[in-house]
Structure 1
Amino acid sequence: MSNYDLFEKFRQYMKLRNFSDHTIEIYTRYLSDCFSLTNTDPTHIDEDHIKKYLSHLQQKHVASSTLNTAYSALKLYFGQILRRKFFIHIPRSKRPKQIPSVLSKQEVIRLIAAANNPKHHTMISLLYGAGLRVSELVRLKMKHFDFDRNRIFIEQAKGKKDRYTLLPTTLRKILQKQNTLKKPNDYLFTNPTDYHLTTTTIQKIIKSAAEKADIKKHVHPHTLRHSFATHLLENGTDIRYIQELLGHTKIETTQIYTHVAIRDTSIESPLDAVL
């Protein structure tokens, strides 16, 4: 069987497993990279070849999450397509325990204010006000807005899951205006060809606004999602409800924000008490 046939078999397997197009693309790319680096017939690749490829990625200083994604792609391919079992001897990369970077409420206000373009203003406001992933923002369609219930329907998000999140009342007017101008299946944010924007475009808009707002932290779209969750927690919102709004499968994923949220502002440093 040729490499092309093996790739097609892998893609077909992932489609039957209902993997997202993005995951299929990423997994296939890591597999192709591995084949190129090892320069070995796939049926002859062994544990040492895989370790060499993973070490190659590690030397490029990729994140642990990237390393583990490559690991998962290769394990799936060799385990399910070629029926090889050597992966049981290769440990996964240990992910460092990091707390998310969040903006203060004052920084959020400055960031939104820095977006002079109404379209950009709405993008940033939705990322923060609804706790959206950037991939969810770019795929929002007019039919996803429930103005009667002040909810946004997030269709087939990460993990092929649907959920509802909050529709900020401060955005109702501008979104309802768009609702009169667009059809239900139209994207909210479009390019000149009426297709949805890319996530890279949104990232550039956020970066530009952060620079204008003179925010020194590294700000990206997911920072606003982190800030949404943290500020809800600080306001006393039940963590289980936050989990539902974010679409987290495990409560442990949401609990990371308990390490960031300031729950009692009356606590002061002992230094302030002695000086």
Structure 2
Amino acid sequence: MKWSAKVIKHKGENRIAVYFEKNADLIARIKKIDGARWSQTLMAWHIPDTEENRVRFKITPISQTIPSEEAQIQIEKFKQWMRSKRYSENTITTYCEALKSFLVFYREKAITDITNQDVIIYNNEYILKNNLSASYQNQIVNAIKLFFKIVLHSKMIIEELQRPKNAKKLPMVLSKEETFKLIDVTTNLKHKTLLALIYSAGLRISEAINMKITDIDNQRMLIHVKNAKGKKDRYTLLSTKVSELLKEYYAVYKPKTFIFEGQNNEQYSSRSAQSILQQAAKNASISKKISLHTLRHSFATHLLEAGTDLRYIQDLLGHSSPKTTMIYTHVSSTSLKKITNPFDM
């Protein structure tokens, strides 16, 4: 009987999910494990994440996933240092988790003895062996470079650390027809407003769920995006139709602070927002693999196809470099449509 097991986070708790085809004998055996429960959501049995259960299901022991005591102290110092430099909490979490992975790999080695060669070995023996992405490898290198800036008497030569080459992938973009269909088939007023606002203003999901009612300027028909990526503020467009949709939404849902609020007037979660998009895509029969960021890509591409200057699009999206915005010239169909296919001549 085939089965698989992995460590998961379920309702804020570390658990081990065990997957197997329905079998009375296996179900009887797993029920004997203390704390075993069935989850309809996961469609799996899950048990407490303990050393014993990890050994039982051939998962890496907990002791081998924790950095050395010295490394734990240094990671905490690194966290405090980043906070003092006013890095965002998301960046702090990402860098600390990436650094933790690296220091777990070298938990038997003193941090001051880690060299550039050790980074190469880690990339080959852990990143590549486990088929982890180049973007994850890039995060590791960024975290290491930043971390070793504050490590005294280090053998690491930060300037010589090389980032991996990233694949130059073009963003997924929806046509105008697909975008409007996606929004139109969404009947729930809150969900429709969320999708319409993200697309019409070119917002990141974090910007949408952090947006407050006071950030909407109906007089100037602008939206004030505050403390966005890179701790930058910017203004973007407020659509006339979305302005009307927001008024209707306010009258029904009566949000207190944030435009989109869940239970107890708390911010909407990004996971809920992504679920809304996936359901809308299904209802609109869109088979493309999309995310909420696809709506932001589509906003930029549609502006470019309508003749909007690239510099204005850069400002609306909040890009630091025009090179980032230039990618949309490669997905815009306007220039390509001017070319006659030799097959049609």
Calculate the TM-score normalised by the size of structure 1: 0.92
Please state if 1:5 is matched with 2:73.
yes
Distance in structure 2 (CA, Å) of the matches to 1:39 and 1:90: 21
Q: Find the structure with the greater CA-based Rg.
A: 2
Q: Tell me by how many angstroms 1:39 deviates.
A: 2.0
Match of 2:139 in 1: 69
User: What is the one-letter code of the residue matched to 2:183?
Assistant: I
Match of 1:267 in 2: 339
User: What is the one-letter code of the residue matched to 2:113?
Assistant: H
> SS of the counterpart of 1:152?
strand
Distance in structure 1 (CA, Å) of the matches to 2:221 and 2:174: 25
> SS of the counterpart of 1:165?
strand
Q: List aligned pairs for 1:218-257, cutoff 5 A.
A: 218-257=289-328
1:190–1:196 Cα contact (<8 Å) kept:
yes
- Relative to 1, partners in 2 of residues 1:160 and 1:107: Cα closer, same or farther, differing over 3 Å? same
Distance in structure 2 (CA, Å) of the matches to 1:108 and 1:60: 37
Q: Quick check: which one's strand share is greater?
A: 2
Deviations 1:178-207 (A, max 9, x none): 556344xx1111111211122122111111
Match of 2:65 in 1: none
Deviates most, 143-152 or 168-177? 168-177
Deviates most, 163-172 or 200-209? 200-209
User: What is the one-letter code of the residue matched to 2:322?
Assistant: I
- Relative to 1, partners in 2 of residues 1:4 and 1:39: Cα closer, same or farther, differing over 3 Å? closer
User: What is the one-letter code of the residue matched to 2:285?
Assistant: D
Match of 2:112 in 1: 43
1:147–1:172 Cα contact (<8 Å) kept:
yes
Calculate the TM-score normalised by the size of structure 2: 0.74
- Relative to 1, partners in 2 of residues 1:4 and 1:63: Cα closer, same or farther, differing over 3 Å? closer
Deviates most, 197-206 or 50-59? 50-59
Deviates most, 194-203 or 218-227? 194-203
One of 73, 80, 95 as aligned partner of 2:150: 80
Please state if 1:117 is matched with 2:188.
yes
Match of 1:54 in 2: 123
Q: Tell me by how many angstroms 1:260 deviates.
A: 1.0
Match of 2:164 in 1: 93
Unaligned runs of 5+ in 1: none
- Relative to 1, partners in 2 of residues 1:163 and 1:170: Cα closer, same or farther, differing over 3 Å? same
One of 94, 98, 111 as aligned partner of 1:26: 94
- Relative to 1, partners in 2 of residues 1:58 and 1:198: Cα closer, same or farther, differing over 3 Å? farther
Q: Tell me by how many angstroms 1:135 deviates.
A: 1.0
Match of 1:130 in 2: 201
- Relative to 1, partners in 2 of residues 1:60 and 1:210: Cα closer, same or farther, differing over 3 Å? farther
How many residues of Structure 1 are paired with residues of Structure 2 in the alignment?
A: 271
Q: Tell me by how many angstroms 1:44 deviates.
A: 2.9
Greater relative CO, 1 or 2 (CA 8 Å, sep 6+): 1
Q: Tell me by how many angstroms 1:136 deviates.
A: 0.8
2:186–2:280 Cα contact (<8 Å) kept:
yes
2:145–2:161 Cα contact (<8 Å) kept:
no
1:10–1:81 Cα contact (<8 Å) kept:
no
Identical-pair percentage: 38
Distance in structure 2 (CA, Å) of the matches to 1:14 and 1:39: 23
Distance in structure 2 (CA, Å) of the matches to 1:126 and 1:189: 11
1:58–1:67 Cα contact (<8 Å) kept:
no
Deviations 1:131-181 (A, max 9, x none): 001111111110110010111111100001000111111111232345563
Q: Quick check: which one's helix share is greater?
A: 1
User: What is the one-letter code of the residue matched to 1:81?
Assistant: V
Deviates most, 5-14 or 67-76? 5-14
User: What is the one-letter code of the residue matched to 2:206?
Assistant: S
RMSD: 1.9
